[in-house]
Amino acid sequence: MIVGGYTLDLYCDRTERHVILENNTYYFKPDTSQWIPLGNQFLGETYTECVKQAKKEGWLVYRSIDKCLCKYCKGK
């Protein structure tokens, strides 16, 4: 049996309001003074499938320049 898979780990490139603790990324939301966990690991059979999952969760992924932004930073 041949088994294949793809894992995509994303980290926001605007790190001034982020912290990584125990492999989880948190975003600091200033208006509520809360740390919000970000889902940053996506599993699928291909890169494209993983990116589609990430985009559904609000991530903005630029493959051509190897950059990505979380749903809280992409509009800034």
Which pair of tokens denotes residue 73? 């930073």
For residue 51, the model assigns a pLDDT of: 93
Taking Cα atoms as reference points, which of 10, 8, 28 lies closest to residue 19?
28
Does any domain span residue 75?
no
- As for how many domains the chain has, the answer is 1
With a cut of 90, say whether residue 49 has pLDDT above it.
yes
Residue 74 domain-assigned (yes or no): no
Q: For the ranges 15-24, 28-37, 65-74, which has the lowest average pLDDT?
A: 15-24
Whether pLDDT at 74 is above 60: yes
| Domain with 24 in it | 6-69
Is pLDDT of 76 > 70? no
Q: Is residue 42 part of a domain?
A: yes
Give first-to-last CA distance, the chain, whole Å.
47
- Per the domain annotation, does 1 fall within a domain? no
| Confidence (pLDDT) at 2 | 66
| 49 inside domain | yes
The reply to whether 76 falls in a domain is: no
pLDDT digits (tens, 9 = 90+) for 3-27: 678 998 888 887 777 777 776 777 8
Q: Give the residues across from 6 on adjacent strands.
A: 44
Examine residue 41 and state whether it is found in any structural domain, yes or no. yes
